[in-house]
Structure 1
Amino acid sequence: MVQIFSQDNPEYEVEASAGVRGRGNTTWQYIKKPYRIKFDKKTSLFGLGAAKSWVLLANYLDPTFMMNTIAFKLGHQFGVEYTNHSNHVELFLNEEYLGNYVLTEQVQVNEHRVNIDEETDFLVEFDRYYDEDFKFKSALINMPVNIKSPDLEDESGMDFVKKAINALDEALYGETSGFPNSNWQELIDVPTLIDYIMINEIVRNRELVIPGSVYLYKKGDDKIKMGPLWDFDWGFGYTESGHIYYDNAKTWLYKKYDKHSSGPGGSFFYRFFDDPTFRQAYKARWNEMKGTLENLYSFIDDLRYELYQSSVQNNKRWKKNHDIFDETDKMKDWLQERIEFLDENINSSF
């Protein structure tokens, strides 16, 4: 049984039968565990579209509790389709207090999530863990592709997905494709590609280039589209050694992890910047959107006051000594430095 209580919004209170299980790859290794809720029936939470599956993000490494929330805010700001919503909650499991979590949508095909046909369209994930029952690697750059939808019975059902992904692979890296004068722009939606890369670059999310949790989908005869956005635990200047954030504000993500020094994620996303028409479109979109980034600072200020008491209790529970005000001050400084770096370099070198 899952119960949701809300002092401010009693209309969001829920009591419904559901199962709870662990989830996540790297994040499951930490003592504060992430979870997935699966209701017996489709259920609306916090006014969002009804579905059976929901996710509780633990944000164990995140000293601000809001890195995923900020990335999702950017998604909504840029108009990225199917962007998740963040609802910060206090989690009790079997009457044990587990701290502050973000309750959000499961990335899946659903009329209120990724709204595509479950049989004729596809949702896939580029991910190094390569752990779905049905998966393949692209023909040229060995991109690990996990099939999330459709629900397949045998490998022959992957053929239409392979065809679409390998066609893009060929357009980008085929010896006779003539890139950038190939047909690559006929295969993937450029505006959504730009927004997806730009948001990940703003917060310097290393998952983009590894790759990890990189989603894309194709609906009918439409072009491939990037999204939904997911997993920003390795963003905001994260350094794996020591689990340090706010590093490398003045370094490119796509240049550091380019086709010469990284795995398939870097090879894939770096390649588009070899096309001068893409660089010009990227520059134009940056200059269109950069003014809207100023509101991130007030958003962070408002959210840290909202989360303060919860952060204190969470840190006591998990024996952490972070102060949310100190950490978000560092985050704002890092974001300001990063945005200034990107603005200068996009406008001078693109």
Structure 2
Amino acid sequence: MRHLKITLFIFGLLLWGCQESIHDVVLSSEKEFIDFSLEKSLNPGLDETVTAEIINSEIRLIIPELADKKKLIATFNYKGDIVLVNSKKQESGTSLNDYSGPLKYIIQAEDGTQIVYTVKVTLKDELKSSLPHIYINIDDNGSITSKEVYANGTITIEGKEAYSDYEGRMGIRGRGNTTWGLPKKPYKIKLDSEASLFGMPAYREWILLAEYLDGTMLYNSIPYKTARMLEIPYTNHLIPVELTINDEYQGVYSFTEHKEVGENRIDIGENGVLLELDTYFDEVWKFTSEKYDLPVMIQFPKEKDMSQERLDEIRSDFENFEALVFDPEFPENDYLDYFDDLSFVNYMIVYQLTLNMEINYPKSTYINKKAGGKYRMGIIWDFDHGFAYSSSSPHYNINYAGSPLFWNQATPAPGEAFFGKIMNDPHMGSLFKERWNWFKTNKYQELREYVTSWSDIIGPSLTGDHDLWGERGSSGDAGTDLQRVLNWLDARVDYLDDYVSGF
């Protein structure tokens, strides 16, 4: 009996000690989403990854194009024990959910407490009633008169529920070559501090495109969307906005990223090269190529990182490639060891579809190269003179929708000679035909729908823009303008079908 009492006593002490240990464990009450997105690679109906804005317990998603809202896969990071939807455990990058109706995500903490997140999905074509508005106020009510000197002031963005609001300090200056001399001015903005604007990755430098030459304000929606469909790297995003400077309304603009090398922009690495071929030839570091007299300007490395030695290296490398194109043995040589064929063909589809003849001079034609890699076409930029535009004919003149891209002059211009010769390589013709047929079958209808959506979004604001700057080739009616653009595109597609039939 005495032994039994001792045993029970020891057992009691052990049990008490275990209970003390259990009570010493503190379960976490943390429960929150860190980030939430719909990845393009997991959701075929999206043309780009959509990153949510998480405000308190609301997950806000703005979806530009959606194949099936009932079948979407979210990618997320969170703090907590488990994520649930309708009592079902969720796995990031795996779980499929229906976003067409009310949807709630529950995060349960280790201690059993929960937080409920409500998902709010907005389609971009539902945001047509009011464009985001950018307000810029120059210090001391100053003005923007220079392309070199920034005027300092503040910038305020009203996202109109489609995007996050923003307010901060910045500088603003003019930009562009011909476009700076037009009545409606384009601008470059440089924030005092990096910021994510309109859902784009955080940077300091941004662009406001005036689009003065096309009063329909539809022409830039076409090439940039086409380029993203073709997955051309580093393609800019366009956000239509209204602009007010010093309390004076300036009309409708397109807001986009500045052309700069860096992660989430033109990501060619620290040792990469970005070349601009442009007859304006107005950069500090530049050269005229030996064989085709191409006006080559160095956009990266930056001016401060350049030297004569580095310029000589870049020139020598480019001219070695150029010589292979000039070579009488072309294309039966190794030029494709130095030049990416798919990037060229994708680029040419954009320029052929938009009839952007700037490539003939050339102007605003970009070529990039990562260290140790091949030359690749891109970025795409500047479509002011696309769509058969000339000083005597507005954009979308249906009579010119069947015009060839290259001029075919007796004495060809440098861009016409160089890029035209590459396009005449049978291999390029075959690859172009393959990619064009894929694009027309799988993406062209989506492009038409996108342009229609863009027209719906900007349409209500065009009257104010036209009141300020004139109709500029527009009919004054957004629906009529849209039909003219779509008719031109359809005619251009018919031309390209005939064009590839010869390959």
Q: TM-score range by the shorter chain?
A: over 0.9
Contact 1:259 1:267 in 2 (8 A): no
Tell me the secondary structure at the aligned position of residue 298 of structure 2.
Answer: strand
What corresponds to 2:89 in structure 1? none
- The corresponding residue for 2:236 is 84
Q: CA RMSD in A?
A: 1.5
Task: Flag the 1:174–1:260 CA change in 2: closer, same or farther, 3 A.
Answer: farther
What are the superposed Cα offsets for residues 71-102 of structure 1, whole Å, 9 maximum, x if unpaired?
A: 10001111100100010000011111100000
Q: Does 1:181 align with 2:332?
A: yes
Residue 484 of structure 2 is aligned to residue 330 of structure 1: yes
CA shift, 1:259, in A, is 6.8
**Structure (1 or 2) with the larger CA radius of gyration:** 2
Hey, what's the Cα distance between the residues in 2 that align with 1:344 and 1:154? 48
Provide the C-alpha distance between the structure 2 equivalents of 1:41 and 1:164, rounded to a whole number of angstroms. Answer: 37
Structure-2 change in CA distance of 1:168 and 1:97 (3 Å): same
Q: Is the 8 A contact 1:206 1:235 kept in 2?
A: yes
Task: Tell me the secondary structure at the aligned position of residue 17 of structure 1.
Answer: strand
Aligned pairs for 1:131-280 within 5 A: 131-151=282-302, 152-175=305-328, 178-246=329-397, 247-254=399-406, 257-258=407-408, 260-280=410-430
The answer to whether the 8 Å contact 1:259/1:271 transfers is no
Task: Tell me the SS of whatever aligns to 2:400.
Answer: coil
- Structure 2 residue 497 is matched with structure 1 residue 346: no
Q: What are the within-5 Å matches in structure 2 for residues 89-104 of structure 1?
A: 89-104=241-256
Pairing partner for 1:290 from 434, 440, 445:
440
Give the Cα separation in 2 of the matches to 1:245 and 1:65. 12
Identity of aligned residues (%): 33
Give the helix-richer structure, 1 or 2. Answer: 1
Q: CA deviation at 1:154?
A: 2.6
Residue 67 (structure 1) aligned with residue 219 (structure 2): yes
**Judging changes above 3 Å, is the alpha-carbon distance between structure 1 residues 261 and 238 closer, same or farther for their aligned structure 2 residues?**
farther
After alignment, is 212-221 or 156-165 more displaced?
A: 156-165
Match of 2:47 in 1: none
Q: Which residue does 2:201 correspond to in 1?
A: 49
TM-superposed CA distance for 1:262, in Å, is 3.2
Q: State the AA in 2 paired with 1:28.
A: W
Q: Give the match for residue 28 of structure 1.
A: 180
1:335 aligned partner, one-letter code: L
Question: Retained in 1: the 8 A contact 2:172–2:188?
Answer: yes
Q: Is the 8 A contact 1:51 1:112 kept in 2?
A: no
* Contact persistence 1:136–1:144 (CA under 8 A): yes
Residue in structure 2 matched with residue 116 of structure 1 by the alignment: 268
Aligned residues, how many?
A: 343
- The code of the aligned residue for 2:313 comes to F
Contact 1:109–1:115 under 8 Å retained in 2: yes
> What secondary structure is seen at the aligned counterpart in 2 of 1:234?
coil
Normalising by the residue count of structure 1, what TM-score does the alignment of the two structures yield?
A: 0.94
Q: Could you list the runs of 5+ residues in structure 1 that have no partner in the other structure? A: none
How big is the shift at 1:163?
Answer: 2.0
Q: Which runs of 5+ in 2 are unaligned?
A: 1-153
1:8 aligned residue: 161
Give 1:39's aligned residue: 191
TM-aligned CA deviation for residue 168 of structure 1: 1.8
Whole-angstrom CA distance in 1 between matches of 2:360 and 2:375: 18
